[in-house]
Amino acid sequence: TPLHGFLADLPKCEHHIHLEGALAPSLLFKLAAKNKIELPTDDPAFASPEALTKRYTNFVSLDDFLGYYYIGMSALITHEDFEALATDYFEHAAKDAVMHADVFFDPQAHLSRGVSYETVLSGFTAARQKAEKNLNITSTLICCFLRHLPVPESVETFQLSEVQASFASGAVAGIGIDSSEVPFPPHLFTPLYAEAAKLGLRLTAHAGEEAGPEYIASALKDLNVTRIDHGVSLARDPELMARVAAAGTLLTVCPMSNVFLKCVKSVAEVPIRKFLDAGVKFSLNSDDPAYFGGNYIGANYCAVQEAFELTVREWEGIALAGVRGSWCSDVRREEMV
Ligand code: HPA
Ligand code: ZN
């Protein structure tokens, strides 16, 4: 890639990474064996880490991926498991010159398996503290709610005392919604986001990944988000795109995820040029790197460069938007600019 060295060294902020999506097949098999979790015996993809890696290159949709994503995380049981998972992510991030990461996790997918919120949070927190100390990577946690489950279950999870305590302490900075997008439009989650807004939490939502721009419009209007996760379908509505640009809303775009989940045929179809021309702020992110060919943030930067041949100035603009849009402390932000 032209600018390869420049892009490798460019200080990065990542805003769209599901920690559970950083579970590599090798660690998945290791944890499943340790925890005596039986992986599906009726799916040849689980014959070996190699077979699973190969299956991960053939997803046909978001929901096809999500089936594997939920099976994968069934191997995560103890504090140490969650710490090892997040540490693996931070070590990859360090190699890609990531300075700050706002990272998602899915507590409902663990609570439903009998794994406590305390186990998940303490494991991730231990990894975050070590990443800050040893790798100079700061991070914040974003608690995601699963949109394929009934909304009252999200509200119940949100109201658990240990979840509320993690908001009050600042351990968790914001909320999001993820999992199957259609037919679960953002407005369904209005009651949840109203409660989160009262607590002063940061608000984001996955929108416009498989669904059209009307899901993005709903996230902005009904949920009052300041960020949109993915947002690729925004370019189909120029009027909305102009409003998003004027509001300064950050899109957390995941180009290689969009290719692996068949939202687009190639990275060249991701509307990067349209966003630049319209003045829409965006960052580039890995989403679920262990499921999408082991492509972490650096590979996404390179793929965008190959498809769009951006200038150094354009890359500097993207990097700066990432720093300005990060949910880090102001002290950290000053260090990064
Ligand atoms: N979209 C929705 N839900 C998800 C994703 C995604 O890209 N990754 C993990 N959960
Ligand atoms: Zn995502």
Annotated binding site for Zn(2+): 16, 18, 206, 287
Q: Which two tokens stand for residue 239?
A: 């009027």
Q: Distance (Å, rounded) from C-alpha 124 to C-alpha 80?
A: 9
Closest ligand 1 atom number to CA of residue 181: 2
Q: How far apart are the first and last CA of the chain?
A: 25
Q: Kindly report the pTM of this predicted structure.
A: 0.98
pLDDT of residue 2: 80
Q: Which two tokens stand for residue 270?
A: 């991701």
Domains and CATH numbers, the chain: 4-327 (3.20.20.140)
**Residue 207, beta-bridge partner list:** 230
Residue of 14, 181, 209, 210 with catalytic role = 209
CA dihedral 254, 259, 263, 267 (to 10 degrees): 70
Q: What is the pLDDT along the chain (337 residues), one digit of tens a residue?
A: 789 999 999 999 999 999 999 999 999 999 999 999 999 999 999 999 999 999 999 999 999 999 999 999 999 999 999 999 999 999 999 999 999 999 999 999 999 999 999 999 999 999 999 999 999 999 999 999 999 999 999 999 999 999 999 999 999 999 999 999 999 999 999 999 999 999 999 999 999 999 999 999 999 999 999 999 999 999 999 999 999 999 999 999 999 999 999 999 999 999 999 999 999 999 999 999 999 999 999 999 999 999 999 999 999 999 999 999 999 999 999 999 8
Quick one: which of 124, 152, 154 has its CA closest to 139? 124
Q: Which helix (H) or strand (E) holds 284?
A: strand 281-284
209 is catalytic: yes
- Map 84-150 to HEC letters: HHHHHHHHHHHHCCEEEEEEEECHHHHHCCCCCHHHHHHHHHHHHHHHHHHHCCEEEEEEEEECCCC
Q: Which ligand is nearest to the CA of 69?
A: 1
Q: How many alpha carbons lie under 13 Å from residue 36 in its C-beta half-sphere?
A: 0
Report the separation in Å between the CA atom of 2 and the middle of ligand 1, taken as the mean of its atom positions. 30
- Please indicate whether residue 55, judged by its CB atom, sits closer than 6 Å to ligand 1: no
